A and B are shown apart, each in its own frame.
Chain A
Amino acid sequence: MVDNTPPGGEGAQLIEVRTAAVPHVVPTLRTIVADIAMRQDFDLDAVEDLRMAVDEACSMLLPSAADGHLNCVFSWKDGRIEVTVSVLSDSPEPDDETGLSWQLLTALATSARRSVTPADGGYLSRVELIRESEAARP
């Protein structure tokens, strides 16, 4: 997968997971993010939020995974966790902004962004979400 900037910035820790784009990997990804958030001492509501956010990000992208792969990068630093989920899709169209998943994601994450960029004869469809612990907020 093409990735340009190291997510999370200088000195961030990073875990990258490449997996098949099938629903039953989602609980594993969810558990990873919850564990990271817990160890970063995020409050327990934020841990739950992140768990759900990853769930939603994956369920948004899974249906459009053309080559059957899903890539998930977790990075964290100083009370800020960033998760990037991406798949290679056939279509240049990002899906509907009114979809429930996207609405939930924007509510659960401090910020969420999605993008579709041409790549490898297809389109790299990506959801990035950032959650900051309450303490990191101004």
Chain B
Amino acid sequence: MTEPVEQDGADVPVLFERMCALPPDAPEREALRDELVRAHLELARNLARKFRNRDESMEDLVQIATIGLIHAVDRFDPSQGSDFLAFAVPTISGELRHHFRDNSWSVRVPRRLKELNANISAVREELTVRLSRAPKPSEIAAHLGVPIDEVYEGLRAGQGRYGASLDNLLENSAHTRFGEADANLSQAELREALRPMLERLPDRERKIVALRFGSGMSQSDIARRVGVSQMQVSRLLAATLKKLREGLTETELTDGA
């Protein structure tokens, strides 16, 4: 499931057309659907990354994003004439947003504290950027204009958000040896392959990709920064990603030969 994207040069619109031309119960439909989902796994992962926070596990987010992607493949109607990415991105983001909205805390915490905790998290991010280090409770209190005791309360309440299993406390931790092969080693190669392609991109496109996936900015933020409309950012991004993906497939083919 986590293998790098394998696109055997298949064109996404063509796949969709073929799939939609088939009757709903045709057996080949399943294979095409799989192929379409697999071709966009990296997109789901990138979107999941955008929603990453310190507490939610990345694997969980990728799962949720992948479910969103499956919904997107199932619901996409190519006869509407729009690009699949333009449809998939909001569908996947929506799935992730629902997760954050509906997922309740593991310990029941009064609403006031939940809100306080949300405010503190937001300020924490903001101040971390401004100070280039994590803020102190006193700085958070000053920024929010609330008494410091409330900040203490809110921080403590945050501990109730995610439960931890008592069993995993001591499991395998005490005497395991330090150091092992980096789990992301396989990504390194892809990253190296991407670099020259990124360098060849026109300035504006490279900047948009960097802001989107490097700094995790939203499309509207990028739009404001680069001085184009959000729709344009979306289109440029989709086109650039397609270009990069095709490039990667080429390098794989030539290197693998």
Contact = CB atoms under 8 A, between A and B. Distances in A.
A100 B179 CA distance: 8
Nearest to A25: B169
A131 to B, nearest CB: 14
Contact of A99 (B137, B138, B166, B174): B174
A67 interface: no
A98 B136 contact: no
Contacts of A95: 174-175
Given A23-B166, A41-B138, A59-B169, A31 B174 contact: no
A18 B173 CA distance: 23
Q: Identify which of B135, B137, B159, B164 gathers the most chain A CB atoms within 10 Å of its CB.
A: B137
A58 B142 CA distance: 35
Given A38-B152, A44-B135, A46-B134, A31 B159 contact: yes
A109 B138 CA distance: 22
Contacts, number: 70
Contacts of B173: 56, 59, 100-101
B137 A38 contact: yes
Nearest to B151: A38
Interface in A83-100: 95-96, 98-100
B134 A98 contact: no
Contacts of B170: 23, 26, 59, 62-63
Contacts of A46: 134
Contacts of B138: 41
B168 to A, nearest CB: 10
Contacts of B135: 43-44
Interface of B: 124, 133-138, 152, 155-156, 159, 164, 166, 169-170, 173-178
